[in-house]
Structure 1
């Protein structure tokens, strides 16, 4: 049996926190994406575009809430 790690809200949050973005514990994916975009607009976040690109290559294992947050906030905001 193959076990696949899903990209869930906690994983999404931890990856953003690793880039230096302050996000409260338990924040939903939408809040995570909004805070990441705000930080990027204010001061720039090195690696955020690469992270979004990487995550969007794995939409088959991404929870819909994470994908929706990325598509709604980060993809338009990073163009």
Structure 2
């Protein structure tokens, strides 16, 4: 069985889809840090909720997250929604 893992590019693309500007090729750590800062500073209606939904979705897929994505999620975004 082949499982598609969620890597740094997938993680970045999901954050960009929420309207967060993240440079091409950003590592998961940078992507998560930018997303957190954006959610806290911009005050865009619905952005924090969208990030919370994404975190919930990815938390449910922990077994297919690459370790770097899991660490970035836990360090920067999970505290934002708890």
TM over 0.5: yes
Moved more, 22-31 or 45-54: 45-54
TM-score normalised to the size of structure 1? 0.93
What's the secondary structure of 1:6's corresponding residue? coil
The one-character-per-residue Cα deviations of 1:49-77 (angstroms, maximum 9, x if unpaired) are 00000001111011000000010111112
What's the secondary structure of 1:34's corresponding residue? helix
What's the secondary structure of 1:37's corresponding residue? helix
| Number of positions where the alignment pairs a residue of Structure 1 with one of Structure 2 | 78
**How far, CA to CA, are the matches of 2:12 and 2:64 in structure 1?**
16
Counterpart position of 1:75: 78
Residue 29 in structure 1 maps to residue 25 in structure 2: no
TM-score normalised to the size of structure 2? 0.90
Q: CA RMSD in A?
A: 1.0
Counterpart position of 2:12: 13
How big is the shift at 1:40? Answer: 0.5
Runs of 4+ in 1 over 6 A off after TM superposition: none
